[in-house]
């Protein structure tokens, strides 16, 4: 049954991959700003633990963006409980196809164009690219019921072809087909949705947390989670900002 009072007084957000890392920081910030936040998590137990730590404005929701059934069930639940969605944060992402943590050096040794496994590419792109498309398409009917709908895609500076091809770019050696190129593709997906949905007043933006210490890089990033989450949180909370943008910790990023 839809909670009419809650829906009227609070904005409704869904954050995928929100049980840890940047997604969890975004969910915390949204809840602190009186959002009803759905904490998306592949494993429901992890999501429930994270939601309990966030507080009463957070609810766990089982969501694996590579499984259409869980996407559909999540959308049905949000519709039943609130009738709309004001903010979708596509944060869920993986850096490799395995389960054991890998250092950035290990990721690059198997992710270069000359030796990369197509199975590895497919596994990562299934979450980082196709999962975002599937989740966004499924959420659109609920987003269209909002008066100020926004979509935020958590990307990476590594996805910027302009930056990565600059001879002075320090990260050139870190560009591979698996993770980095998946973020380039995500940026293209972001632009495509932004151009298509602008006519409906739905804003779509990409944001990078920078080189943040998270499970994606086996916690070897140089920026703290608090610092790295600052820009994604800002973009997620911004209800009257632009559309079709790509920003990072230091401001606008080139596509």
Structure tokens at 112: 């270069």
C-alpha to C-alpha distance for 182 and 57, rounded to whole angstroms: 32
Task: Scan for tokens 């995928």, then name that residue.
Answer: 16
C-alpha to C-alpha distance for 235 and 204, rounded to whole angstroms: 10
Phi/psi of residue 238, nearest 5 degrees: -75, 110
Does the annotation mark 38 as catalytic?
Answer: no
- Return the bridge partners of 248, or none: 251
Does the annotation mark 199 as catalytic?
Answer: no
Task: Give the active site residue among 10, 28, 102, 183.
Answer: 183
Task: Give the active site residue among 10, 28, 35, 179.
Answer: 179
Q: Which of these, 45, 35, 32, lies nearest to 14 by C-alpha position?
A: 35
- DSSP 8-state code for residue 212: B
Task: Report CA dihedral (207, 209, 211, 216) to the nearest 10 degrees.
Answer: -90
Query: Which class for 93: exposed (0-12), middle (13-18), buried (19 or more C-beta within 10 A)?
Result: buried
The per-type count for the chain, helices as H runs and strands as E runs, is 10, 8
Q: List residues with catalytic annotation.
A: 179, 183
């Amino acid at each position: 049954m839809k909670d009419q009072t809650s829906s009227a007084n609070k904005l409704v957000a869904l954050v995928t991959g929100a049980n840890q890392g940047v997604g969890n920081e975004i969910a915390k910030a949204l809840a602190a700003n009186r959002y009803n936040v759905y904490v998306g998590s592949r494993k429901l137990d992890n999501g429930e633990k994270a939601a309990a730590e966030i507080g009463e404005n957070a609810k766990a929701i089982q969501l694996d963006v590579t499984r259409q059934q869980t996407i559909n069930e999540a959308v049905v639940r949000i519709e039943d409980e609130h009738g709309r969605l004001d903010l979708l944060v596509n944060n869920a992402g993986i850096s490799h196809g395995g389960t054991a943590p890998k250092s950035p050096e290990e990721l690059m040794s198997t992710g270069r164009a000359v030796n990369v496994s197509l199975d590895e590419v497919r596994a990562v792109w299934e979450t980082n690219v196709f999962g975002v498309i599937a989740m966004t398409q499924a959420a659109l009917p609920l987003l269209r019921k909002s008066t100020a709908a926004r979509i935020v895609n958590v990307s990476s500076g590594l996805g910027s072809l302009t930056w990565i091809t600059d001879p002075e770019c320090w990260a050139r050696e870190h560009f591979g087909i698996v993770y980095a190129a998946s973020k380039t593709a995500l940026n293209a997906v972001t632009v495509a949705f932004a151009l298509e949905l602008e006519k409906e007043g739905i804003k779509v933006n990409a944001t990078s947390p920078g080189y943040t210490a998270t499970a994606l890089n086996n916690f070897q990033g140089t920026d703290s989670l608090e610092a790295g989450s600052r820009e994604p949180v800002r973009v997620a909370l911004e209800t009257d900002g632009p559309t079709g943008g790509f920003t990072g910790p230091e401001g606008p990023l080139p596509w």
